[in-house]
Amino acid sequence: MIKRVTIVILFVFALLGLNAVVGRFLNAYYLQILIFMGINIILATSLNLINGYTGQFNLGHAGFMAIGAYASAAFSLFAQPFLQAWFGFIPAPVLTPIFFLLSLVCSVLLALIAGLLIGMPTLRLRGDYLAIATLGFGEIVGVVINNMKVVGGATGLGNIPEYSDFFWVFLFAALTVWVVGKMTRSAKGKSFPAIREDEIAALSLGMSNTRVKVTAFVIGAGFAGLGGGLFAHFMGYLHVNMFGFLRSVEIVVMVVLGGMGNLWGVVIAAALLTGLSEALRPFKEWRMIIYSLLIIITMMVRSNGISLKNWRKASA
């Protein structure tokens, strides 16, 4: 027990150290790419739990991200000033992280609730139908936010305090990978891939298909909300267009490319694809074509995902 706590503390300090190094030696542009990588790792890993491990095709992940982003932004913009007046006597270096964490709690909670409400009815659907239903959900979120004057509607929401930095983003990215990894590697968590592989057999072993699917969906949605909250507090400005259908597709591509249900493969794919789309910037109008071609070629050559583990298996 003590040993594990030490490891966690060491990890946090290592991150803090890295944070200082990164902040000093990288310019703002590279730092931004790095942070987007972290956020994408959170999103892709959480979607991996739903799409990859449990095999439930979710095409509305950006919707959950949007809910999380707006929820936490709303907390920071509207609730924080009130709390600030009450707890102003606490020094800012302590208070700010607490506020930030509270705003993230809001984002996770709201995304969890949304996940539960959407998951319960739609997870009865299979395959393509579920994909269409979740796609519809993502669009609805966009329309609703667009018409909510409180959060800026179509003009967007600005002036969000920029709390997210390398430290926070990668701390939560590590947490996401840890949670998904720990769950899916436990005997109980084998129910996720079991449902994906053969639902009838899973039922015959006493697994409740609805329960397993909804669990995966809700946890995945919660982490997407967390990613959204971090994103909001990094950008400082939110607009609905940031969470469109294409954003969902981008996350799906990361999961597929990393290998469905492959923990580290998806983490690597999330980082690589984030970097790749930036690296291709000099090619201007050819950028999206090259990007798409690279994905197509990768899928043709490595249909099980990019990770090394699969590589050995495939060549054996």
Partner 1 sequence: MSLLQVKDCGIEFGGLKALHDLNFALKGDELMGLIGPNGAGKTTFFNLLTGVYQPSSGEIIFDKTRLNELKPQQINRLGVARTFQNIRLFPELSVLDNVLCGFYHSIRYSLLDAVLDRGRFRQEEAQLREQAFALLEKFHLQDSAEELAKNLPYGSQRRLEMVRALATHPKLLLLDEPAAGMNSTEKAELIELIQRLHQELKLAVLLIEHDMGVVMKLCPRILVLDYGIPIAEGSPEEIRSNPKVIEAYLGERAPKL
- Identify which of residues 51 and 80 has a Cβ nearer to partner 1 in the complex: 51
Which residue among 206, 281, 300, 301 contacts partner 1 (CB under 8 A)? 206
Q: Is 209 in the site for partner 1 (CB under 8 A)?
A: yes
| Alpha-carbon radius of gyration of the chain | 20
Q: Is 149 in the site for partner 1 (CB under 8 A)?
A: no
Which residue among 2, 200, 300, 301 contacts partner 1 (CB under 8 A)? 200
Binding footprint of partner 1, residue count (CB under 8 A): 28
Which residue among 148, 190, 249, 287 contacts partner 1 (CB under 8 A)? 190
In the complex, minimum distance from the CB of residue 113 to partner 1, in angstroms, rounded to a whole number: 18
Q: Is 12 in the site for partner 1 (CB under 8 A)?
A: no
Q: Is 194 in the site for partner 1 (CB under 8 A)?
A: yes
With contacts defined by CB under 8 A, name the span among 44-52, 163-171, 193-201, 262-270 that binds partner 1: 193-201
Q: Is 208 in the site for partner 1 (CB under 8 A)?
A: yes
Q: Is 186 in the site for partner 1 (CB under 8 A)?
A: yes
- Identify which of residues 56 and 215 has a Cβ nearer to partner 1 in the complex: 215
Q: Is 108 in the site for partner 1 (CB under 8 A)?
A: no
Q: Is 11 in the site for partner 1 (CB under 8 A)?
A: no
Query: Residue 216 — φ and ψ, nearest 5°?
Result: -60, -45
CA distances from 199 to 69, 75, 134, 195 (A): 34, 41, 20, 5
Residues lying near partner 1 in the complex (CB under 8 A) are found at 1, 4, 178-179, 182-183, 186-191, 193-194, 197-198, 200-209, 215, 261
